[in-house]
Amino acid sequence: MSRQSPNSKWPLRISRYLIPVEVVSTTQNYLRRLGTEHLEGIAYWTGIFKRNEAIVRSAIFPGDYADNPKSGWGFSHVDLETAFKVGNEIHKRKEYLFIQLHTHPFEAFHSYTDNNYPISHRLGFISIVIPHFAKGPMKNRNTWKVYEYQGKGKWRTLGRREIMKRFVIMVACDEQGDQ
């Protein structure tokens, strides 16, 4: 049995994220489209738990919920009202917010804004940065820079081996996490 945080179904540590290839493709299409306009994009991956594994079910794009999306060459911002709308949508779906993804125009790294203003400060929350406005194939996890929230404003950078082990792109994935 996996240990969970007090008063939560969230496990103390998520061992793997099972991500359907369709979610990766949909996310890449959205982020690439913004990139063709030289705009950074943000997406969120949500889903359910099966023990200590996160089963990603869908992508949410805050631009779909924003009255006035704020994005530019060097930044992308989700205002408080849009964040609430996204949170309500996740709640309606009875899912959890696992991962925040966003693009950078050039190399992938965690900026000051990324470190200090994620949509979630839950311990273990994941932030993935995709370089070059997601022009390269996102299925290639070697291009991802992945960060895990440690609390008190600190993020841990995940190494290549850990990324490959913990983030599994599934050809077909049902709600039970089976292929």
Residue 94 burial by Cβ neighbours in a 10 Å radius (0-12, 13-18, 19+): exposed
The dihedral built from the CA positions of residue 136, 138, 118 and 14, taken in this order, carries a sign that is negative
In percent, the amount of the chain with pLDDT more than 90 equals 54
* Token duo for residue 146: 């992945």
> Distance between terminal CA atoms of the chain?
22
Domain boundaries, the chain: 16-170
Tens digits of residue pLDDT in 151-176? 998 999 999 999 999 999 998 655 44
Q: What is the pLDDT of residues 8-21, one digit of tens each?
A: 677 878 999 999 99
Q: Is the pLDDT of residue 68 over 70?
A: no
Residue predicted with more confidence, 35 or 69: 35
Q: What is the pLDDT of residue 179?
A: 42
Token pair, residue 134, equals 């997601």
pLDDT of 24 > 70? The answer is yes
Lowest mean pLDDT among 22-26, 41-45, 104-108: 104-108
Give SS3 for 104.
Answer: coil
Fold of 16-170: Cytidine Deaminase; domain 2 (3.40.140)
Is pLDDT of 69 > 70? no
> Average pLDDT of 46-54?
94
pTM (2 d.p.): 0.84
Instruction: Name every residue whose Cβ is closer than 8 Å to that of residue 90 and which is 6 or more positions away in sequence.
Output: 44, 46, 60, 96, 97
